[in-house]
């Protein structure tokens, strides 16, 4: 009996093309679009040599020192220099600038000044370099006044010593890519879209919501058994779906979920359970037609996913720091955070806490749905 | 005009859903305006990197460490963070800070002794190879080099003296000139965001509204009933056309009105005029595309799927959600085949324009013409479909 119910329920679900679109094809589509749109974003802050035009009057002896200083930093070893220089004349330099070919033009004749088109980081780096140049020469001339006994030759080695006082400490074990947030959040959305199955189960089991519900209500099968079988069917399909999405994100698109596959798969399972239960809860608790319930499910899912960083990953941080309670009450954020915790440092207490709260949410939604659905009797249908 | 009235009734029934899209675009635009709150630039202002500094060197006589923190306070945007590895990592990961610096205890003392190699390094955490990390490294090293230079020049000077001299020295800067022609580009940035998001919202609204009406009027039973009504087929079609046009132009008008409310004076310029005109061209594309979808699809379920795939797909690859300059070359190559790409491209071009003469508008005219060409192609395919359907069954 059970296998019969399960078999036909699975068949029903799988043949519903619209449901399969929203639960499977839509997340895959979004993942693909995210990949296309965000692929280059992580490289934005990466340093590449800053293109600079230099208009220099070499007859002035002071400018020769500047020129050699510029050339030194531009041909540094190890991954290219600071600037890529274009030494030209006045008009060409301005043309390069207005065509955005260079970020700034350094004019060195009797005085030194910089011309830029906007206030950006690259422009600030150029300015900072030139500042340092005049600051050093000012310091040298100031010292010859303050302590006349000092000889410039003794100071030059100090100037030329570009000792690096900084030790870079790695941020995490691997290089962390913020773009994963969008994809983890997408997993959360996929899990919550599993709610479509939960919603449908409630609809098709409630005698007052659909004809099918009325028919199965008079069938000689225990209601709880029917419900449990339906939920198992929904979970099976949704779990398969979320694993497909996960495999697609990791294997095809190449965004990592960390190295502990077992825990990743467990997080996916708990998320699915929560999602299906959420849909069932929406279906049972909200007294409205199917269209409105579907609308509410989509809208709440989108809001929760947005707050967990699906469209813009910074939102997750803003919510977590500004309204920590909201971060813990948002199931989508819990799913995202569970995956993020795994990515950060494997199965940690943070991961287990997220999973525990998710599980509690799932149980809570299920109980709420069950409390509404149980013991309903109809005088007539 | 019974058919026209019925058309408007269908739209009214779907109004909440359509208004939701308007809400989304207005909400996104307002959010961008808040994120991007920047005053129009009048002169050069250096970028400040968001930095967290943990100074463990706080014992007495640590003027040089304190001086470094002071200097970074002027040249960077200091952010206070809790001294907890997990929170620091989160802040770095989410871009709350780009640079975290830790000055070890006793750093000042070692620095004062002489420029020996025994000095403990300052620890920093940042995204590897990022420009901001490179710039901040430059600033920190600059401060310490300058300290080293003054100390070498004046070995007897006290720390107070050195700190003061370094502070004065580092206050020197070169003059920077901001070329005038693009200096107020920033003030239009938010309007451009609004108009780019409009591509998503307007297309969604048009597809959902128009194709819903078309599917309704084309449902077999309703069509058969209408065909035997005393209103001629020609009149019916004209009324549906009028409905389509009224709805499209109405949606466009609402979008423009919202932009007027959001940006007021800035819309009443040539920039605003051309943005509105470009949006009108895009509206025509949306109209023809929706007409085509309405004829090609039979069920409303498929319609929701197609609408989402088309609007989200084009918006992501054509630069609505992520600016075109950040998209990969191959993505943009595909995006050229969508009208949205040309709409967004024209918007960005309009935003950077200062004079609106025939010459400088060349790119924008081209983009508009390409959009109209898309509209023509969609309309042609739709007409083909209409004729074939009419021959098939009525």
Q: Which domains does chain A have, with CATH numbers?
A: 2-41+179-373 (no CATH), 50-160 (3.40.190)
pLDDT classification of B37: cutoffs 50, 70, 90: low
pLDDT at A79: 52
Chain A and chain B share a number of CB contacts under 8 A equal to 229
Say yes or no to pLDDT of B287 above 60. Answer: yes
B331 lies within 8 A of chain A by CB: yes
Out of A45, A118, A178, closest to residue B132 by CB: A45
Q: Which of residues 126-185 of B touch A (CB under 8 A)?
A: 126-135, 137-142, 144-146, 148-150, 152-154, 165, 169-170, 172-179, 181-182, 185
Nearest-angstrom CA–CA distance, A367 and A364: 5
Q: Mean pLDDT score of chain A, rounded to an integer?
A: 86
| β partners of residue A85 | A52
User: What pLDDT, in 10s, does the model give residues B318-367?
Assistant: 988 888 888 888 889 999 999 999 999 999 888 877 777 787 788 899 99
B36 lies within 8 A of chain A by CB: no
**CB distance B327–A36 less than 8 Å?**
yes
pLDDT at A137: 85
- Report which of A230, A239, A227 is spatially closest to residue A191, judged by C-alpha positions: A239
The CATH number, out of the four listed (1.10.238, 3.40.1710, 3.90.930, 3.90.1480), of the domain defined by the range B50-175 = 3.40.1710
Q: Are strands A104-108 and A112-116 parallel, antiparallel or unpaired?
A: antiparallel
What DSSP designation does B319 have?
A: T
Say yes or no to pLDDT of B29 above 60. Answer: yes
pLDDT at B182: 47
pLDDT at A354: 95
- Report which of A244, A238, A235, A245 is spatially closest to residue A27, judged by C-alpha positions: A245
**CB distance B322–A30 less than 8 Å?**
no
pLDDT at B388: 85
Q: What percent of chain A has pLDDT over 70?
A: 96
Instruction: Give the residue from chain B lying closest to A122, CA to CA.
Output: B131
Nearest-angstrom CA–CA distance, B344 and B342: 5
- Report which of A313, A263, A255 is spatially closest to residue B322, judged by C-alpha positions: A313
If one compares B59 and A27, the residue with the highest pLDDT of the two is: A27
Question: Number of helices (H) and strands (E), helices first, in chain A?
Answer: 17, 5
Query: What ranges do the domains of chain B cover?
Result: 2-39+184-392, 50-175
Per-position pLDDT tens, chain A of length 381: 889 989 999 999 999 988 999 999 999 999 999 998 887 776 677 788 888 888 888 777 778 888 888 888 887 544 567 888 888 888 888 888 877 788 889 988 878 888 888 778 888 989 998 898 889 888 888 888 877 777 777 777 777 777 788 888 877 655 667 788 889 999 999 999 999 999 999 988 888 888 888 888 888 888 888 888 999 999 999 999 999 999 999 999 988 888 888 999 999 999 999 999 999 999 999 887 787 888 888 888 988 998 898 877 778 888 888 888 999 999 999 999 999 989 887 888 999 999 999 999 999 999 998 888 877 777 776
pLDDT classification of B59: cutoffs 50, 70, 90: confident
Q: Which of residues 41-70 of B touch A (CB under 8 A)?
A: 41, 44-47, 49
Mean pLDDT of B171-191: 71
pLDDT at A280: 93
Say yes or no to pLDDT of B89 above 70. Answer: yes
**CB distance B176–A116 less than 8 Å?**
yes
| β partners of residue A105 | A53, A115
Mutation for testing the A interface, residue in B150, B153, B319 having most A CBs under 10 Å:
B153
Mutation for testing the A interface, residue in B19, B42, B52, B93 having most A CBs under 10 Å:
B93
Q: A214-218, B17-21, B29-33, B48-52: which range is least confident on average? A: B29-33
Out of B122, B135, B181, closest to residue A124 by CB: B135
Say yes or no to pLDDT of B153 above 90. Answer: no
B377 lies within 8 A of chain A by CB: no
Query: Can you state the angle between helices B233-263 and B2-13, rounded to 10 degrees?
Result: 40
Say yes or no to pLDDT of B375 above 90. Answer: yes
User: What pLDDT, in 10s, does the model give residues A65-123?
Assistant: 888 888 888 875 445 678 888 888 888 888 888 777 888 899 888 788 888 887 788 88
pLDDT at B184: 46
B32 lies within 8 A of chain A by CB: no
- Report which of B142, B147, B163, B173 is spatially closest to residue B67, judged by C-alpha positions: B163
Mutation for testing the A interface, residue in B165, B176, B178 having most A CBs under 10 Å:
B176
User: What pLDDT, in 10s, does the model give residues A142-187?
Assistant: 888 877 777 777 777 777 777 788 888 877 655 667 788 889 999 9
């Amino acid at each position: 009996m059970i296998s019969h119910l399960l078999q036909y329920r699975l068949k029903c679900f799988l043949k519903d093309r619209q449901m399969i679109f929203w639960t499977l094809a839509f997340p895959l589509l979004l993942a693909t679009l995210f990949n296309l749109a965000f692929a280059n974003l992580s490289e934005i802050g990466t340093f590449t040599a800053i293109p600079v035009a230099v208009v220099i009057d070499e007859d002035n002896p002071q400018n020769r020192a500047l020129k050699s200083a510029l050339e030194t930093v531009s041909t540094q070893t190890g991954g290219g220099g600071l600037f890529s220089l274009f030494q030209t004349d006045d008009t060409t330099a301005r043309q390069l600038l207005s065509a955005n070919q260079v970020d700034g033009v350094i004019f060195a004749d009797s005085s030194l000044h910089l011309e830029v088109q906007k206030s950006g980081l690259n422009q600030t780096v150029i300015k900072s370099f030139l500042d340092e140049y005049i600051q050093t020469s000012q310091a040298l001339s100031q010292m010859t006044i303050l302590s006349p006994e000092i000889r410039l030759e003794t100071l030059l080695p100090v100037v030329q010593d570009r000792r690096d006082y900084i030790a870079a400490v790695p941020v995490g074990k691997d290089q962390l890519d913020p773009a994963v947030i969008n994809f983890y959040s997408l997993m959360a959305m996929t899990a919550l879209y599993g709610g479509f199955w939960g919603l449908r189960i409630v609809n098709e089991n409630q005698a007052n919501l659909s004809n099918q519900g009325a028919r199965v209500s008079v069938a000689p099968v225990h209601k709880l058994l029917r419900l449990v079988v339906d939920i198992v069917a929904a979970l099976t399909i949704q779990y398969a779906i979320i694993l497909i999405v996960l495999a697609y994100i990791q294997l095809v698109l190449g965004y990592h979920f960390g190295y502990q596959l077992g825990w990743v798969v467990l997080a996916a399972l708990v998320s699915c359970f929560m999602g299906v239960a959420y849909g069932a809860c929406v279906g049972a608790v909200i007294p409205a037609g199917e269209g409105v319930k579907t609308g509410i499910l989509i809208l709440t899912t989108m809001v929760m996913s947005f707050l967990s960083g699906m469209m813009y990953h910074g939102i997750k941080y803003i919510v977590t720091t500004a309204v920590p309670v909201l971060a813990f009450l948002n199931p989508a954020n819990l799913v995202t955070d569970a995956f993020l915790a795994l990515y950060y440092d494997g199965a940690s207490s943070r991961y287990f806490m997220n999973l525990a709260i998710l599980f509690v949410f799932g149980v809570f939604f299920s109980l709420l749905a069950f409390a509404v659905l149980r013991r309903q009797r109809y005088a007539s249908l | 005009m019974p058919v026209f009235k019925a058309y408007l009734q269908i739209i009214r029934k779907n109004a909440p859903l359509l208004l939701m899209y308007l809400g989304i675009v207005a909400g996104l635009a307002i959010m961008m305006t808040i994120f991007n709150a920047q005053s129009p630039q009048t002169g050069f202002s250096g970028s400040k990197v968001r930095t967290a500094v943990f100074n463990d060197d706080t014992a007495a006589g640590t003027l040089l460490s304190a001086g470094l923190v002071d200097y970074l306070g002027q040249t960077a945007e200091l952010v206070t963070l809790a001294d907890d590895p997990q929170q620091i990592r989160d802040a770095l990961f989410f871009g709350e800070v780009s640079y975290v610096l830790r000055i070890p205890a006793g750093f000042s003392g070692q620095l004062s002794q002489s420029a020996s190699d025994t000095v403990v390094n300052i620890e920093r955490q940042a995204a590897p190879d990022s420009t901001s990390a490179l710039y901040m490294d430059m600033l920190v090293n600059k401060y310490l080099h300058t300290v080293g230079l003054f100390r070498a020049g004046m070995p007897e000077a006290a720390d107070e003296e050195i700190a003061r001299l370094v502070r004065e020295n580092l206050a020197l800067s070169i003059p920077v000139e901001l070329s005038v022609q693009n200096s107020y580009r920033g003030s239009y940035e938010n309007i451009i965001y609004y108009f780019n998001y409009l591509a998503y919202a307007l297309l969604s609204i048009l597809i959902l509204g128009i194709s819903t009406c078309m599917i309704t009027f084309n449902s077999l039973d309703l069509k058969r009933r209408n065909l035997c009504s005393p209103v001629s087929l020609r009149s019916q079609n004209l009324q549906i056309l009028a409905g389509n046009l009224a709805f499209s132009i109405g949606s466009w008008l609402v979008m423009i009105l919202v932009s007027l409310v959001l940006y007021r004076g800035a819309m009443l310029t040539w920039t605003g005029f051309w943005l509105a005109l470009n949006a009108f061209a895009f509206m025509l594309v949306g109209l023809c595309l929706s007409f085509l979808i309405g004829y090609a699809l039979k069920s409303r379920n498929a319609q929701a799927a197609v609408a989402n795939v088309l609007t989200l797909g084009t918006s992501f690859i054509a630069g609505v959600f992520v600016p075109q300059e950040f998209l990969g070359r191959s993505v943009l190559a595909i995006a050229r085949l969508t009208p949205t790409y040309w709409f967004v491209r024209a918007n960005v071009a309009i935003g950077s324009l200062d004079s609106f003469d025939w010459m400088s508008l060349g790119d924008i005219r081209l983009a508009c013409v390409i959009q109209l060409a898309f509209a023509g192609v969609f309309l042609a395919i739709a007409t083909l479909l209409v004729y074939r359907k009419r021959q098939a069954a009525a």
